[in-house]
Amino acid sequence: MKRRGSGLAAAVLAGVVFIAGTAAAGAETEVTQVRLGIHPGAVRVVVEASAELRISAFVLVRPYRVVLDMPEVRWRLPLAAGRGGKGFVAGYRFGQFVPGRARMVFDLKGPAVIAKSFTLAPSKGRPWRFVLDLKRATAAEARARAGRPAAVTAARRRPPLARSPKKPRYRQIVVVIDPGHGGIDPGTTGRRKRVFEKHITLAMARRLKRELDNGGRYKTVLTRTRDVFVRLRDRIARARGSGADLFISLHADFMADSRIRGASVYTLSERASDKEAAALAAKENKADLIAGMDLSANSKQVTDILIDLAQRETMNHSVRFARILVDEMRKSTRFLRKSHRFAGFAVLKAPDVPSVLLEMGYLSNAEDEARLIQPRYRARLAKAIARAIDRYFHARGKAAGR
Ligand SMILES: [Zn+2]
């Protein structure tokens, strides 16, 4: 069934954040509908499109998911599509995965396998259809058939993990801004389910970049400039590859208790400062999992290197910047009672780049949500963050005798 947002709400949002219908450049084929049907012990998934879809489908375990990879498409699905499931399919997500490729991820309530998949050509007024029959299975069966996502991932250049060459003495300060989530991973959603964290973070990142570029003092780099999925470790790699002096990851949170509001700043620590901080880190670290990546193969090695290299000095700088950031933002933004906390965020693990993660507010809170979708509020926030960055580097420059 198609459900569209009310025209007014959509119009208000259209100028503020991008909505799920945003098309990727160059994509011709439109995905127009996704239907789920229950059969005994099975769920049929039908994806309707304007042209033939060359889909590759595979099962993943821990958690149980079915992934559909396809060339880039235009999503013509209602914003709320995928939020409800049927049978053992809990729901689904869709979006761009890497440039040129799109992905759908169906979350399963238990182990299942793909029993059948086929394409139907248009007939009797029906468009192209891709049909996937999922069948309940044992955990062992699902595991045995679990696909390797590497086979469908586009090869990408990765900057080496080795220390970057010595930086020249006089150069622009490089600030890397990391808009949280993106593409297949929407992050959290607003109360009215129309605002996605990934859009807020990107809009905010762009505004902050504009603010910093104005002065000419900084070179700013965004880890993503559009609605695309970027792996956590690629975000770190991008920061290090561009010789970042500071890394700011932007996010917005969601709480079951809609009264809770306010911003908070996080820095890296292997030991979380409290339970909430630990839970939040766990949630943000799941971004790769959400996109259907299998990290188990090489995450151990990467983690070890990163922890080894996590220098105390970098952490101290991160903490110093976090304090200044809270101080500057306080002038225009409400904060949680514990405004600065520590936890093991994967995205903050660049060993030689001072890094903070800023949760700008709660999309679950009406006031925070209303503010974050306003360009005017984001401009104010950007100015406060820019002031904090100025202060931080001013102090560092003095300390270094520059
Ligand atoms: Zn987030």
pLDDT, position 164: 45
Pick 158 or 390 by higher pLDDT: 390
* Over residues 167-177, mean pLDDT: 72
Determine the distance separating the centroid of ligand 1 and the alpha carbon of 262, expressed in angstroms: 15
Q: What whole-number distance in Å separates Cα of residue 182 and Cα of residue 185?
A: 5
Whether the bond between 63 and the residue before it is cis, its omega within 30 degrees of 0, is yes
Q: What whole-number distance in Å separates Cα of residue 327 and Cα of residue 363?
A: 23
| Structural domain spans, the chain | 7-147, 173-399
For the ranges 106-120, 164-178, 321-335, the lowest mean pLDDT is seen at 164-178
pLDDT, position 206: 97
Confidence tier at 311 by pLDDT (50, 70, 90): low
Determine the distance separating the centroid of ligand 1 and the alpha carbon of 15, expressed in angstroms: 22
Q: Does the structure show a pLDDT above 90 at 375?
A: yes
Q: What whole-number distance in Å separates Cα of residue 390 and Cα of residue 81?
A: 43
Q: What whole-number distance in Å separates Cα of residue 376 and Cα of residue 203?
A: 12
Determine the distance separating the centroid of ligand 1 and the alpha carbon of 165, expressed in angstroms: 32
- Per-residue pLDDT of 47-104, as tens digits, reads 999 888 888 888 888 889 998 888 888 888 877 788 888 999 999 988 887 777 888 9
Determine the distance separating the centroid of ligand 1 and the alpha carbon of 265, expressed in angstroms: 12
Determine the distance separating the centroid of ligand 1 and the alpha carbon of 251, expressed in angstroms: 4
- Summarize the chain as % helix, strand, coil (round to 5): 30, 30, 40
Determine the distance separating the centroid of ligand 1 and the alpha carbon of 188, expressed in angstroms: 7
- Per-residue pLDDT of 266-301, as tens digits, reads 988 777 777 878 888 888 888 777 666 544 444 444
The answer to whether the Cα torsion of 65, 4, 79, 149 is positive or negative is positive
Determine the distance separating the centroid of ligand 1 and the alpha carbon of 111, expressed in angstroms: 28
Determine the distance separating the centroid of ligand 1 and the alpha carbon of 253, expressed in angstroms: 6
Pick 109 or 158 by higher pLDDT: 109
Confidence tier at 390 by pLDDT (50, 70, 90): very high
Confidence tier at 121 by pLDDT (50, 70, 90): confident
pLDDT, position 352: 77
Determine the distance separating the centroid of ligand 1 and the alpha carbon of 64, expressed in angstroms: 22
Determine the distance separating the centroid of ligand 1 and the alpha carbon of 198, expressed in angstroms: 8
How confident is the prediction for the chain on average, in pLDDT? 80
Determine the distance separating the centroid of ligand 1 and the alpha carbon of 249, expressed in angstroms: 9
Q: Give CA separation, 368 vs 195, 205, 325, 357, in Å.
A: 12, 17, 18, 18
* Over residues 10-31, mean pLDDT: 48
pLDDT, position 159: 37
Determine the distance separating the centroid of ligand 1 and the alpha carbon of 187, expressed in angstroms: 5
Determine the distance separating the centroid of ligand 1 and the alpha carbon of 284, expressed in angstroms: 5
Pick 124 or 247 by higher pLDDT: 247
* Over residues 24-28, mean pLDDT: 58
- Per-residue pLDDT of 129-141, as tens digits, reads 888 889 999 998 8
Task: Tell the CATH topology of 7-147.
Answer: Immunoglobulin-like (2.60.40)
Determine the distance separating the centroid of ligand 1 and the alpha carbon of 368, expressed in angstroms: 15
pLDDT, position 207: 97
Q: Of 224, 196, 241, 211, which Cα lies nearest the Cα of 381?
A: 211
- Answer for the pair 344, 303: CB distance below 8 angstroms, yes or no: no
- Per-residue pLDDT of 215-273, as tens digits, reads 778 999 999 999 999 998 899 888 888 889 999 999 999 988 999 999 999 988 777 77
**What CATH homologous superfamily does 173-399 map to?**
Zn-dependent exopeptidases (3.40.630.40)
pLDDT, position 101: 81
Determine the distance separating the centroid of ligand 1 and the alpha carbon of 179, expressed in angstroms: 9
pLDDT, position 39: 86
pLDDT, position 297: 41
Determine the distance separating the centroid of ligand 1 and the alpha carbon of 122, expressed in angstroms: 40
